[in-house]
Structure 1
Amino acid sequence: MEAFIQGIPKAELHLHIEGTFEPQLMFDIAKRNRISIPFNSVKEIELAYNFDCLQDFLDIYYQGAGVLIHEQDFYDLTYSYLEKCAKQNIRHAEIMFDPQTHTDRGIEFKTVINGIHNACVDAMKNLQVSSLLIMSYLRHLPQEAAFKTLEQSLPFKKHIAAIGLDSSEKGNPPSKFKDVFQASVKAGYIPLAHAGEEGDADYVWEALDILEIKRIDHGNNSLQDDALVQEIIKRNIALTVCPLSNKALQVVPELRNHPLKKMMDLGMKVTVNSDDPAYFGGQLNQNFIEIQKALSLTKKDIYELAKNSFEYALLDKNTKLKYLNELDAFYAKNK
């Protein structure tokens, strides 16, 4: 089963590039930029990557992001992740980035986007891993700050496919960002949002009805409301589920309690993702391996999850078809 998971072609649709910051790379970039961090070794950073709630995680996450200063830093961070994609047979990645985390520190928007974009271009050329970018608004900040980010993004619109909504969910409902989402869609961005990770089912309803999102990031708490489940199925909207993240942040106490299989059995379109792999104990394949063991998923289940990852990617029809044909050929040979 592990060899099957390793070999199967797949896409990753829920990944925060700042959350791929491995301790060694963080240490190296901090040293290169002569930035003082409160850790004397890589081991100390590894130990700090232990937390049990979203806010504790976000605190260390933002601290790590503080060492990213130059275009080269964002390039190195992104290319390092895409190299890991190539090793895991991830054929396509949809990468979220948080401009406000950096622009609020005085880093120019163009420094962030150019570093990330150039790494994506090189990874396609060198590694044959395709990717696109999702610009996420930080929901703990006011909507006005998101409008400023939208404005900063417009000269680089051709590099960005979609917008997202992340950070602390509780107390920051999707409706808070109604106006900036409308403006972003008008500018040509596809709307996506985190909903139902910490927030209840009503947050998911808001994301669907007010922000009119095309994909739900997480969505665990959708299961609180049967009518919502049916609505998600009716609208054919996928959920980008993150098993190891859910366990690390105590969204579920143990993976055996994870709702992924229940979602699949109900007819919801689910994908498996790593979210912030440097912090949550595993890259995408590790998420597949551990959730497979915990829920006794079959090869057919793994195939369905991989198929969903391509079908609900923000790709054109021909590219999707190419990846789906690869997937079907692998499954026919290995099922």
Structure 2
Amino acid sequence: MPLELASRLDKIGRDKLPGLLHGMPKCELHIHIEGSLEPELIFALAQRNGVTIPYASVEALREAYAFTDLQSFLDIYYAGASVLLKEEDFFDMAMAYFHRAKADNVVHAELFFDPQTHTDRGVPFQTVIDGLTRAGETAQRELGVSSALIMCFLRHLSEEAAFETLAQAMPFKDRFIGVGLDSGERGNPPEKFARVFEQCRQLGLHLVAHAGEEGPAAYIETALDVLKVERIDHGVRCVESPALVERLAREQVPLTVCPLSNVKLCVFDTMDRHNLAALLEAGLKVTVNSDDPAYFGGYMNANFDATFDGLPQLGPRHAYVLARNSIEASFAAESAKAEWIEQLDRVFADAA
């Protein structure tokens, strides 16, 4: 951060905060593209593909979004994904997300996708990745939004199934930049996937993993020490271990925190109980993300708005840090990161 800008950040009035949150360039590092599938598009794709879904209307589907925990969400999430059958379906889903990302001044998004959700239904891996790749190229060309794909393994399935998915992915290895680990944490510790993550590391792929959302702080430690991940997705339960918090701060391991998701899935009762401000205060490299925005009530700017409304101790300086963290923690090229940080500095300098 330029010294002149640093000295001026605290002088920016809170009245300018909404404009800064919306206008600042930001990267999204924790977005499940299947979780951006809005009810309207679910119904449109169901009709296009002749798929029957167990809801009478868009409104009835939205009313079902009353989750009590991660599993209750996953049950509806997988039902919604059943309408995705053709390359065009994956393209349409991703483009709908990219348009919303552009509107929120997301300059770069690293999209999680779950091939096992589709291949287990008989949808070829190529169908999935062709649609997503074409959408990414179109978004870059038409919207100026940069993106990359991260393939996730479903942790409630076996490591053998993950190896099978990796084998299916190998002909398309140039289309994705890394692998992740998602789905239900409980009873599925990171070390269950130690061998497949080691193979992915040897292949030169970036490594990330969900840990410390519903799972304990120990899952964050094994994701780091056994899987050797570069980022922790969620990670909010790190506070259960002061030693882990100190380590995350010291090593500057990025946490891709998803505030609205955390409240919707009852990780925190309300936003004012969220520990994001405490994580920042402890010096952790926190980022804000939308997770599964169609299900959890909002895309990037909605997450920033809800976070700063619920945690009034956060101000313009924190907004800058969160946006800069997202850029620095991305897997984008260093030249692109430098350009986005320049844009970010200009936005805050103009407000100071």
1:105 equivalent among 118, 121, 135: 121
The equivalent of 1:219 in structure 2 is 235
Once residues 67 and 245 of structure 1 are traced to their aligned partners in structure 2, the CA distance between those partners, rounded to angstroms, is: 23
What secondary structure is seen at the aligned counterpart in 2 of 1:64?
A: helix
Question: 1:296-319, CA deviations, whole angstroms, 9 ceiling, x for partnerless residues?
Answer: 110111111000000000011101
Displacement after TM superposition at 1:133 (Å): 0.5
Displacement after TM superposition at 1:30 (Å): 0.4
Q: Which amino acid aligns with 1:128?
A: G
Once residues 193 and 248 of structure 1 are traced to their aligned partners in structure 2, the CA distance between those partners, rounded to angstroms, is: 20
The equivalent of 1:263 in structure 2 is 279
2:162 equivalent among 126, 146, 156: 146
Once residues 198 and 206 of structure 1 are traced to their aligned partners in structure 2, the CA distance between those partners, rounded to angstroms, is: 15
Choose 224-233 or 18-27, whichever is displaced more.
224-233
The equivalent of 2:48 in structure 1 is 32
1:75 paired with 2:75, answer: no
The equivalent of 1:50 in structure 2 is 66
The equivalent of 2:152 in structure 1 is 136
Q: Which amino acid aligns with 2:222?
A: E
The equivalent of 1:315 in structure 2 is 332
Displacement after TM superposition at 1:225 (Å): 0.6
Once residues 3 and 329 of structure 1 are traced to their aligned partners in structure 2, the CA distance between those partners, rounded to angstroms, is: 14
The equivalent of 1:292 in structure 2 is 308
Q: Give me the CA root mean square deviation.
A: 0.7
1:204 paired with 2:220, answer: yes
Question: 1:59-87, CA deviations, whole angstroms, 9 ceiling, x for partnerless residues?
Answer: 00000001100000000000000000111
The equivalent of 2:259 in structure 1 is 243
2:175 equivalent among 159, 177, 180: 159
The equivalent of 2:346 in structure 1 is 329
Q: Which amino acid aligns with 1:224?
A: E
The equivalent of 2:7 in structure 1 is none
Q: Which amino acid aligns with 1:329?
A: R
Question: 1:73-129, CA deviations, whole angstroms, 9 ceiling, x for partnerless residues?
Answer: 000000000000111111110100000000000100000001001000000000000
Question: 1:210-244, CA deviations, whole angstroms, 9 ceiling, x for partnerless residues?
Answer: 00000000001111111111111222211000000
Once residues 294 and 76 of structure 2 are traced to their aligned partners in structure 1, the CA distance between those partners, rounded to angstroms, is: 12
* 8 Å CA contact retained: 2:29, 2:289: yes
Once residues 176 and 85 of structure 1 are traced to their aligned partners in structure 2, the CA distance between those partners, rounded to angstroms, is: 34
The equivalent of 2:3 in structure 1 is none
* 8 Å CA contact retained: 2:259, 2:289: yes
Q: Which amino acid aligns with 1:116?
A: L
Question: 1:168-225, CA deviations, whole angstroms, 9 ceiling, x for partnerless residues?
Answer: 0010000000000001111221110000001111111100000000000000111111
Once residues 286 and 334 of structure 2 are traced to their aligned partners in structure 1, the CA distance between those partners, rounded to angstroms, is: 20
Q: Which amino acid aligns with 1:37?
A: I
Q: Which amino acid aligns with 2:236?
A: N
- Runs of 4+ residues over 6 Å off in structure 1: none
Percent identity over paired residues: 48
Once residues 75 and 254 of structure 2 are traced to their aligned partners in structure 1, the CA distance between those partners, rounded to angstroms, is: 29
1:282 paired with 2:298, answer: yes
Once residues 188 and 63 of structure 1 are traced to their aligned partners in structure 2, the CA distance between those partners, rounded to angstroms, is: 33
What secondary structure is seen at the aligned counterpart in 2 of 1:152?
A: helix
Unaligned segments of structure 1, at least 5 residues: none
The equivalent of 2:270 in structure 1 is 254
Displacement after TM superposition at 1:48 (Å): 1.5
* 8 Å CA contact retained: 2:191, 2:222: yes
The equivalent of 1:178 in structure 2 is 194
What secondary structure is seen at the aligned counterpart in 1 of 2:127?
A: helix
2:319 equivalent among 286, 302, 316: 302
TM-score by length of 1: 0.99
Q: Which amino acid aligns with 2:276?
A: L
Q: Which amino acid aligns with 1:305?
A: L
The 5 Å alignment of 1:184-195 reads 184-195=200-211
Count of matched residue pairs = 335
* 8 Å CA contact retained: 2:20, 2:347: no
Q: Which amino acid aligns with 1:24?
A: E
What secondary structure is seen at the aligned counterpart in 2 of 1:192?
A: strand
* 8 Å CA contact retained: 2:32, 2:113: yes
Once residues 295 and 212 of structure 2 are traced to their aligned partners in structure 1, the CA distance between those partners, rounded to angstroms, is: 21
What secondary structure is seen at the aligned counterpart in 2 of 1:271?
A: strand
Displacement after TM superposition at 1:323 (Å): 0.7
Once residues 275 and 167 of structure 1 are traced to their aligned partners in structure 2, the CA distance between those partners, rounded to angstroms, is: 12
